[in-house]
Amino acid sequence: MKKRFFTSILLLCLFASCGEDDTTEEQVIEEEQVTEEENPIENTNPEENENEVCKIVNKDGLIIIEAESFDLKGQWKLVEDEKASQGKYITYDGPNSYQNQNLDNEITVKFTIDAAASYRVRWYMRQPDEAEGDKSNDVWIYLSDNVGRAWVNKTSVTLEHYEKFVSRGKGEFTYGGALDLHNPKASSWLTAKFPAAGEYTLKICARSKDFQLDKLVLSSGISDDEAKNQSKTRSEAIECN
């Protein structure tokens, strides 16, 4: 009789113990579910940033293009310098290419025009202190879709290929830039006549060793003096969507 009594108690204890363990596991599962619901994992989608498109645009009559916005290749290099806009400029570290363009050293940048208009093209550049006279002071330049224009013999000339673009300056990056044409021989401002709103490409091909470029300035509807004064401390305007 005692044996049956103790056996019954033992079985009862075992059942009770199993019931407590089952309850504990259910509670743990419920607590984990609540925790996950209260603290959901952040849904990050890296493709959203990858798909974002940014463009260089006009602001107050100026399209400013920082040199580091060019798609660099060949023997162009990016250099940090506190005297440069945004603390950076680019320099060409290869041999001179005075007679033709070495496309291995061709760099490009895209920008957006908001309406049909004409723009004057200038830049901020610098020669090394040790450069002699007109050394290290020019590039080959071309605007896509033949929108570039020069003024030759009182006539507007469409620029259909690369032309020499030049100025001088040492110490500080200097505002300037003009065409030095060879056929026919002439000096002219570089302008761009954009027929419609849209995206265009500016191309530069290396010409002079150690040339240094800080930024380009395209201006419309304002004088050259205004463009110079306003662009000195400004950087490019960017729109992203």
CA 202/CA 91 separation, integer angstroms? 17
What the block records as the tokens of 138 is: 């020019």
CB 191 within 8 A of CB 120: yes
Predicted TM-score (pTM) of the model is 0.79
Cα–Cα distance between 234 and 58 in angstroms, integer? 12
Q: Is 210 left (phi over 0), alpha (psi -120 to 50) or beta?
A: left
Q: For the chain, which residues make up each domain, given as ranges?
A: 1-43, 55-240
Tens digits of pLDDT across the chain (241 residues): 444 444 444 443 334 444 444 444 444 334 444 344 344 444 445 455 678 899 999 999 999 999 999 999 999 999 999 999 999 999 999 999 999 999 999 999 999 999 999 999 999 999 999 999 999 999 999 999 999 999 999 999 999 999 999 999 999 999 999 999 988 788 999 999 999 999 999 999 999 999 999 999 999 999 999 999 999 999 999 999 8
CATH architecture of the domain with residue range 55-240: Sandwich (2.60)
User: Residue 42 has what DSSP assignment?
Assistant: P
DSSP characters for 194-212? Answer: E-SSEEEEEEEEE-STT-E
